[in-house]
Amino acid sequence: MGQTLTEPVTNKDSSSVQNPLYKVGASCMQGWRITMEDAHSHILSLPDDPGTAFFAVYDGHGGSKIAQFAGKHLHKYIVKTREFKEGNITEALKKGFMDLDAAMLDDDALKDELAGTTAICILIKDNILYCVSV
């Protein structure tokens, strides 16, 4: 069966956060994989832009390193783009993903990693919801 267990790990790790604007919950389950490969982000107020919220789920493929790295850093790459500062959020999201990818290719701990991740992200700024997936 490849890199799967003989039976799934069904323990769930759940968490929730809230502020006056949002109440968010997340739940993770390892399932059939040998290790947990997924990650998530729920940031109710971005440190570099307190009026902006960011939520994402990363589905690791072949390992957890890339999903974990994206979960910790993608929002930072988006916020620091020139496009974000100029208010072009759609382009900032695209550029943030590309900048994150370039950073991982330059990172000695990640550049030879054979795993990857998918992502579905929501960014809420100025009462507009932006959604992006890869």
pLDDT digits (tens, 9 = 90+) for 16-48: 999 999 999 999 999 999 999 999 999 999 999
Return the CATH number of the domain spanning residue range 37-133.
3.60.40.10
Find all residues with CB under 8 Å of 103, minimum gap 6, and list them. 73, 77
Q: Distance between CA 37 and CA 61 in Å, rounded?
A: 7
Q: What is the pLDDT of residues 40-96, one digit of tens each?
A: 999 999 999 999 999 999 999 999 999 999 999 999 999 999 999 999 999 999 999
Look at residue 52 in the predicted model and tell me its pLDDT.
98
- Using alpha carbons, select from 85, 77, 81 the residue that is nearest to residue 101: 77
Domain map of the chain by residue range? 37-133
Q: What is the pLDDT of residue 1?
A: 39
Give the containing element (helix H, strand E) for 74.
helix 65-79
Share of the chain above pLDDT 90, in %: 96
Phi, then psi, of 110 in degrees rounded to 5: -120, -25
Six token digits for residue 112: 């030879």
Residue 2 has pLDDT above 60, yes or no: no
